């Protein structure tokens, strides 16, 4: 089975990125041939600082390896190192309609937040489709908020196959059953985010232990003192239950039974310790990897070689079936 997922190198990575993304990647690499792409070309669809992009690309590479991706088992590479990606996006742009792109929820949301709306912000779902389809992907482990993009990739693949002949597999998504949508600790009706969330409500993967404890101690809870998973009525405590389930691996019903009648104080303290225990070794491994930039770049170069070799046959098929004269 072929596995693919792409991750943007923007912003400091937070607990929601771990629970909905990184831990899924580490788990799925056991199931087949896995490719994890740092999608730096997606990061320039909104205004960016060049040095920040450079640093965050290497930061993300270190984070992927620190959270369990094994370079001998999985392929980790940078999108801009494999020119097949933008080439495929241009070819696929001929089989997606203006209307389809205009209906993309994330484009509507992001364009409202920016005074300058680039053409790239409008068309980047086509680049995302190319990212996935180039690798004849069977499985895409992604966050809950990316379902619409995956559906578009499937639509594009079907239209290309119908118009030019069977070329692409239709990939399936995999979404985390628990922890797929971690909410802000201070505003639990909003998704946790380093760009749109509250600083005190965002658990960063690289936060020091005392910072984690402080943020979780001050997390917003709900009326009453019973620890129950009821996202609509008790969003604050339900979010903490999800976080603890991710950190410990214990099912939410077991956690509800364990803390039944115990109140919020001890529960929040235990959530904090579980998160510290989970993230501390990740932070230590990250710092070790990030300190050796030369080795990190070498690992990415090896990944790009493998990605180029794997994606090349599909790109060649695309050109030939669309009628291009090849060199």
If you search the block for the tokens 């603890």, which residue do you land on? 244
Q: Which of 37, 276, 57 lies closest to 137, judged by CA?
A: 37
Q: Cβ-count burial of 197 within 10 angstroms (0-12 exposed, 13-18 middle, 19+ buried)?
A: buried
- Dihedral angle computed from the Cα positions of residues 138, 142, 146 and 150, in that order, rounded to the nearest 10 degrees: 0
CA dist., res. 299 & res. 304, Å (int): 9
User: What is the token pair recorded at 16?
Assistant: 């929601």
| Extended strands (E) in the chain | 2-7, 33-38, 74-78, 139-141, 172-174
What DSSP element (H or E) covers 62? helix 50-66
**How many domains does the chain contain in total?**
2
- 192-215 pLDDT, tens digit per residue, is 998 888 999 999 999 999 999 999
Q: What is the CATH number of the domain that holds 248?
A: 1.10.240.10
Domain-embedded: residue 271: yes
Q: Is there a contact between 249 and 284 (Cβ–Cβ < 8 Å)?
A: no
Domain-embedded: residue 194: no
- Same domain? For 29 and 161 the reply is yes
- Same domain? For 255 and 163 the reply is no
DSSP 71: T
Q: Which of 39, 60, 11, 36 lies closest to 290, judged by CA?
A: 60
Domain-embedded: residue 272: yes
- Same domain? For 126 and 29 the reply is yes
- Same domain? For 130 and 256 the reply is no
DSSP 94: G
- Same domain? For 33 and 59 the reply is yes
| pLDDT of 312 over the 80 cut | yes
- Same domain? For 12 and 51 the reply is yes
DSSP 326: P
Domain-embedded: residue 189: no
CA dist., res. 150 & res. 132, Å (int): 9
Domain-embedded: residue 190: no
- Same domain? For 26 and 149 the reply is yes
Domain-embedded: residue 313: yes
- 219-250 pLDDT, tens digit per residue, is 999 887 789 999 999 999 999 999 999 999 99
Chain centroid to Cα 204, Å, comes to: 15
**What residues form DSSP beta bridges with 33?**
2
Q: What are the DSSP calls for 259-275, one per residue?
A: TTTS-HHHHHHHHHHHH
The mean pLDDT value for 264-275 works out to 96
Domain-embedded: residue 67: yes
Domain-embedded: residue 199: no
Q: What percent of the chain has pLDDT over 70?
A: 100
**Close Cβ partners of 249 (under 8 Å, ≥ 6 residues apart):** none
**CA quadruple 13, 19, 25, 26: dihedral sign:** positive
The mean pLDDT value for 106-126 works out to 87
- Same domain? For 65 and 25 the reply is yes
Q: What percent of the chain has pLDDT over 90?
A: 86
- Same domain? For 170 and 253 the reply is no
The mean pLDDT value for 86-96 works out to 98
Question: What pLDDT does residue 46 have?
Answer: 87
- Same domain? For 43 and 171 the reply is yes
Q: Which domain holds residue 257?
A: 209-287
- Same domain? For 300 and 254 the reply is no
Give the model's confidence band at 107: pLDDT under 50 very low, under 70 low, under 90 confident, else very high: confident
- 123-180 pLDDT, tens digit per residue, is 999 999 999 999 999 999 988 788 999 999 999 999 999 999 999 999 999 988 888 8
Q: What is the CATH number of the domain that holds 172?
A: 3.40.50.620
CA dist., res. 96 & res. 286, Å (int): 39
- Same domain? For 45 and 144 the reply is yes
């Amino acid at each position: 089975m072929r596995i693919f997922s792409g991750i943007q190198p923007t912003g400091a990575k937070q607990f929601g990125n771990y629970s909905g993304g990184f831990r899924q990647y580490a788990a799925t690499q056991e199931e087949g041939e896995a490719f994890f792409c740092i999608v730096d070309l997606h990061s320039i669809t909104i205004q960016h600082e060049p040095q920040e992009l450079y640093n965050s690309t290497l930061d993300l590479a270190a984070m992927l390896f620190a959270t369990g991706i094994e370079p001998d088992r999985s392929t980790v590479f940078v999108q801009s190192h494999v020119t097949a990606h933008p080439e495929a996006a241009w070819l696929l742009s001929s089989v997606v309609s203006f209307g389809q792109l205009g209906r993309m929820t994330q484009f509507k949301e992001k364009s409202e937040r920016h005074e300058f709306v680039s053409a790239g912000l409008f068309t980047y779902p086509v680049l995302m489709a190319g990212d996935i389809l180039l690798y004849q992907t069977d499985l895409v482990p992604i966050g809950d908020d990316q379902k619409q993009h995956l559906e578009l990739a499937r639509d594009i693949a079907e239209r290309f196959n119908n118009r030019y002949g069977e070329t692409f597999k239709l990939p399936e998504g995999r979404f985390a059953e628990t922890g797929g949508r971690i909410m802000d600790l201070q505003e639990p009706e909003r998704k946790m985010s380093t760009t749109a969330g509250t600083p005190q409500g965002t658990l960063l993967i690289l936060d020091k232990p005392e910072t984690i404890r402080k943020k979780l101690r001050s997390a917003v809870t709900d009326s009453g003192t019973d620890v129950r998973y009821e996202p609509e009525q008790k969003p604050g405590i339900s979010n903490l239950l999800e976080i603890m389930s991710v950190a410990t691996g214990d099912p939410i019903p077991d956690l509800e039974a364990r803390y039944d009648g115990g109140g919020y104080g001890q529960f929040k303290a235990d959530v904090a310790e579980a998160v510290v225990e989970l993230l501390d070794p990740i932070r230590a491994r990250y710092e070790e990897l990030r300190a050796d930039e030369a080795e990190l770049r070498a690992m990415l170069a090896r990944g790009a070689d493998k990605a180029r070799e794997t994606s090349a046959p599909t790109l060649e098929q695309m050109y030939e079936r669309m009628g291009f004269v090849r060199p």
